[in-house]
A and B are shown apart, each in its own frame.
Chain A
Amino acid sequence: MSAPVRRFVTLFLVHAALLVGAAFILLPFVWMLATSIKPPEELFTAQLQILPDRFYGVENYRFALENAPLLRFALNGVIVCGGILVVQLLTSIPCAYALAKLRFPGRNLLMTLVLLGLCIPVQVPALPIYIGLAYTGLLNTYFSMMLPFFLSVFAIFLFRQFFRSFPDDIIHAARLDGMSEFEIVWRIVTPSAWPAIAAFSVFSIVAHWNDLYWPLIVISDIELATPPLGMLFFANAESGTNYGALMAAATILTAPLVIAFLFARRRFIQGITMTGVK
């Protein structure tokens, strides 16, 4: 085989493998989209068919929008995810800066504790936090949904990796120019960390937008439900076995994430490659 032919075959095989992988990952989404535009009688036909014979999208989406407060769920999702993200950034960036750039006794021990924190799943402290919230009467509030996630050890770890490569000389120059450490963090280091912030934001928003576990524990009021919890209420109470409408609702609630990711994609990839995470 000549070199160009071999090259072509290699490329073909690589892309074929990638396509199979992509199809495998995308299939549930494609199925969700397809189901959301199918009429009920076509859902359980024996043959595999992506596109419906009869377009039923308008009815499904209308039913979903009319019977479930989907926009309310989405708004709740935005409030909860936004609140969590803002506090996470405010706490983890100074913390990561200190761990990456300041020299103080016990720094390595603190870093080890942060890494240990990565190993503790949210289920472990769930009960004490729940009891605490119940005693203080904070169940069924936005605050109760956000509280366990305000401090993100993952964010500390990710930003620390990013800040470690920030030139020390620039920090020294800032100290000589009279900046306090907090000003250095927010005015000098953070503006250079946008790729890492974008990457972390995607992680954080996706995780909390899709989180069912914690809202299910602390929220019983449907007015406060985040998208997955809202879907759960909707599936139980309203739609019954109307899977077309259910999938239409799921599509509507997934769309913001997909759109947000498309916008942040370049920075996200840049951030991941620069921090060496994953």
Chain B
Amino acid sequence: MAQVELQGITKSFGATRVLKDVNLSIEDGEFLTLVGPSGCGKTTLIRIIAGLEQQTSGSIRIDGASIDHLRPHERRIAMVFQSYALYPHMTAYGNMALPLTMARLHLYERIPLLRLLSPRRRSVMKQIDAEVQAVANQLKIGPLLQRRPAQLSGGQRQRVALGRAMVRDPAAFLMDEPLSNLDAELRVHMRTELAELHQRIGATFIYVTHDQVEAMSMSDRIAMMDGGQVAQLGTPSELYERPASIRVAQFIGSPAINILPGQVGPDGAVELLGRKLPISTRLPPGSAVSIGIRPEAIRVTGGGDPAAEVSLHAHLRRRELLGPEQILHFHLDRLESATVIVRLAGAQAPVAVDGAAELGFDPGACHVFDAEGNRVEVSRAESRAVPPQAALVQVGRAG
């Protein structure tokens, strides 16, 4: 059980700066996910926490005490690797018992023959055996303990690797993309199991993934990393509903958010494809902005949509049916290069492929980003056309 604090962590490999001033505070028992595209520095960061890499500057504290000077095994931290990193010539049991024998037996007690001289070795090994069995039963791998990693399936190896981390009873678990080598079905299953495991043992989890679905579904909080920095830190719904930058907005959510070009009109109102939206910003008139709309925030109608304040003319190009929902790809009539993706519930096609449609959306559901890609707060423009229920959405909270 531990609170982990990162203060001003930087890391450079030669002239390349991989991490630039990362500050994070992870609460005791929290499930924090580091998510981001590959090369964003998330794996380097987790390795620094584990002590496998040395940070260039900055400090790591566990429960307020600095661990910078400690070697990896002295940090009360266990790590699960993407490749599982099981010792190939040892059985599952040997893999799980190893961290305990390393911690509890002296060097001479681990050397063949010489270890026979130790009077206490037998009782220590008995204790270790009991602990390994207990963890193995928790993970339901009891019958597999005598097998070697090569004789185990991916999911079983994953459990042994988890078991090896759990027997140490660490203050914090570090997980470096532990599910990415599993097939899709097993990944979904292990996701649930990991989340349950976290609830059961209540330890601090720091989880690295490039898969935003994993991040969204398991975490208490997500730290989205980009270019060696924390781009946004917040709960999954905060990241989804109020992305701090266009990069976060594009990374979180599947299918990805639709980004359309816009600009700020002379009166401060945001204009999309030359059409004025009833939202305004404090950006100077004429500034270019990007407008993000989530695929599920768009309604599709064949003709006019009286409920929607804004609608765009489009043609349906492609339709993917996913069972309970469908993904529609539209081309806008005003901007041929832009594809707008819409997610609709139900299996009924609203329009035929190549058919014309109106894409209606609530301006309150628009995310506006400036030219640098940072989120811009918008306020509802004074307009008599605003239906009261639409005005409640999101913009009201923006303050």
Q: Give me the interface of A with B, judged by CB distance under 8 Å.
A: 167, 169-170, 172-179, 183, 188, 191-192
| Stretch from B14-22, B76-84, B115-123, B273-281 contacting the other chain | B76-84
A174 CA / B99 CA spacing, docked (Å)? 8
> What residues of B have a CB within 8 angstroms of the CB of A175 in the complex?
51-52, 71-73
Question: Contacts A178-B102, A178-B103 known; A173 to B88 CB distance under 8 Å?
Answer: no
Report yes or no: A170 in contact with B73, Cβ–Cβ below 8 A: no
> What residues of B have a CB within 8 angstroms of the CB of A177 in the complex?
73, 98-99, 102, 164
A64 CA / B81 CA spacing, docked (Å)? 62
A176 touches which of B79, B82, B86 (Cβ 8 Å): B79
Question: Contacts A177-B98, A178-B102, A179-B102 known; A172 to B73 CB distance under 8 Å?
Answer: no
Report yes or no: A167 in contact with B102, Cβ–Cβ below 8 A: no
Report yes or no: B83 in contact with A172, Cβ–Cβ below 8 A: no
A183 CA / B111 CA spacing, docked (Å)? 10
Report yes or no: B83 in contact with A178, Cβ–Cβ below 8 A: no
Q: How far is the CB of B271 from chain A (nearest CB, A)?
A: 52
Can you spell out 13 A-B residue pairs with CB atoms less than 8 angstroms apart? A167-B83, A169-B81, A169-B82, A170-B86, A172-B72, A172-B81, A173-B81, A173-B86, A176-B51, A177-B73, A183-B110, A191-B89, A192-B89
Report yes or no: B87 in contact with A174, Cβ–Cβ below 8 A: yes
Identity of the chain A residue whose Cβ is nearest the Cβ of B88 in the assembled complex: A192
A173 CA / B81 CA spacing, docked (Å)? 8
Report yes or no: B99 in contact with A172, Cβ–Cβ below 8 A: no
A172 CA / B46 CA spacing, docked (Å)? 12
Q: How far is the CB of A40 from chain B (nearest CB, A)?
A: 55
Interface of A is mostly: helix
Q: How far is the CB of B43 from chain A (nearest CB, A)?
A: 11
> What residues of A have a CB within 8 angstroms of the CB of B79 in the complex?
172-173, 176
Contact of B186 with A by CB under 8 A: no
A7 CA / B67 CA spacing, docked (Å)? 67
Identity of the chain B residue whose Cβ is nearest the Cβ of A177 in the assembled complex: B99
Identity of the chain A residue whose Cβ is nearest the Cβ of B79 in the assembled complex: A176
A170 CA / B81 CA spacing, docked (Å)? 9
A72 CA / B114 CA spacing, docked (Å)? 35
Contact of B152 with A by CB under 8 A: no
Report yes or no: A169 in contact with B99, Cβ–Cβ below 8 A: no
> What residues of A have a CB within 8 angstroms of the CB of B85 in the complex?
167, 169-170, 172-173
Contact of B316 with A by CB under 8 A: no
Identity of the chain B residue whose Cβ is nearest the Cβ of A169 in the assembled complex: B85
A173 CA / B82 CA spacing, docked (Å)? 11
> What residues of A have a CB within 8 angstroms of the CB of B73 in the complex?
175-179
> What residues of B have a CB within 8 angstroms of the CB of A178 in the complex?
73, 99, 102-103
Most B CB within 10 A of own CB, among A170, A178, A188: A178
A191 CA / B87 CA spacing, docked (Å)? 10
> What residues of A have a CB within 8 angstroms of the CB of B88 in the complex?
170, 191-192
Identity of the chain A residue whose Cβ is nearest the Cβ of B161 in the assembled complex: A173
Contact of B50 with A by CB under 8 A: yes
> What residues of B have a CB within 8 angstroms of the CB of A170 in the complex?
85-88
Question: Contacts A169-B81, A169-B82 known; A176 to B87 CB distance under 8 Å?
Answer: no
Most B CB within 10 A of own CB, among A175, A176, A191, A192: A176
> What residues of B have a CB within 8 angstroms of the CB of A191 in the complex?
88-89
A174 CA / B110 CA spacing, docked (Å)? 15
Identity of the chain B residue whose Cβ is nearest the Cβ of A166 in the assembled complex: B88
Interface positions of B from 83 to 108, Cβ below 8 Å from A: 83, 85-89, 98-99, 102-103
Q: How far is the CB of A10 from chain B (nearest CB, A)?
A: 37
Q: How far is the CB of B150 from chain A (nearest CB, A)?
A: 11
Identity of the chain B residue whose Cβ is nearest the Cβ of A194 in the assembled complex: B89
A192 CA / B87 CA spacing, docked (Å)? 9
A205 CA / B102 CA spacing, docked (Å)? 36
Q: How far is the CB of B107 from chain A (nearest CB, A)?
A: 8
A178 CA / B77 CA spacing, docked (Å)? 11
A175 CA / B87 CA spacing, docked (Å)? 12
A174 CA / B72 CA spacing, docked (Å)? 10
> What residues of A have a CB within 8 angstroms of the CB of B50 in the complex?
172, 176
A175 CA / B77 CA spacing, docked (Å)? 12
A192 CA / B89 CA spacing, docked (Å)? 7
Identity of the chain B residue whose Cβ is nearest the Cβ of A171 in the assembled complex: B85
Interface positions of B from 44 to 59, Cβ below 8 Å from A: 47, 50-52
Give the 9 A-B residue pairs with the shortest CB-CB distance, closest first. A178-B73, A178-B102, A169-B85, A173-B85, A177-B99, A191-B89, A169-B81, A170-B85, A176-B72
> What residues of B have a CB within 8 angstroms of the CB of A176 in the complex?
50-52, 72-73, 77-79, 99
List 11 additional contacts besides A170-B86, A188-B87; criterion CB under 8 Å.
A169-B83, A170-B88, A172-B81, A173-B85, A174-B87, A175-B52, A175-B73, A176-B50, A177-B99, A183-B110, A191-B88
Most A CB within 10 A of own CB, among B71, B82, B87: B87
Q: How far is the CB of A196 from chain B (nearest CB, A)?
A: 14
A191 CA / B88 CA spacing, docked (Å)? 9
> What residues of A have a CB within 8 angstroms of the CB of B110 in the complex?
183
Identity of the chain A residue whose Cβ is nearest the Cβ of B165 in the assembled complex: A176
Identity of the chain A residue whose Cβ is nearest the Cβ of B104 in the assembled complex: A178
Most B CB within 10 A of own CB, among A169, A183, A191, A192: A169
Q: How far is the CB of A163 from chain B (nearest CB, A)?
A: 14
A174 CA / B78 CA spacing, docked (Å)? 11
> What residues of B have a CB within 8 angstroms of the CB of A169 in the complex?
81-83, 85
A124 CA / B121 CA spacing, docked (Å)? 52
A173 CA / B47 CA spacing, docked (Å)? 11
Interface positions of B from 110 to 137, Cβ below 8 Å from A: 110
A176 CA / B173 CA spacing, docked (Å)? 12
- Scan B270-304; emit 1 where CB is below 8 A from any A CB, else 0: 00000000000000000000000000000000000
Identity of the chain A residue whose Cβ is nearest the Cβ of B99 in the assembled complex: A177
A167 CA / B86 CA spacing, docked (Å)? 10
A179 CA / B102 CA spacing, docked (Å)? 7
> What residues of A have a CB within 8 angstroms of the CB of B71 in the complex?
175
A172 CA / B78 CA spacing, docked (Å)? 11
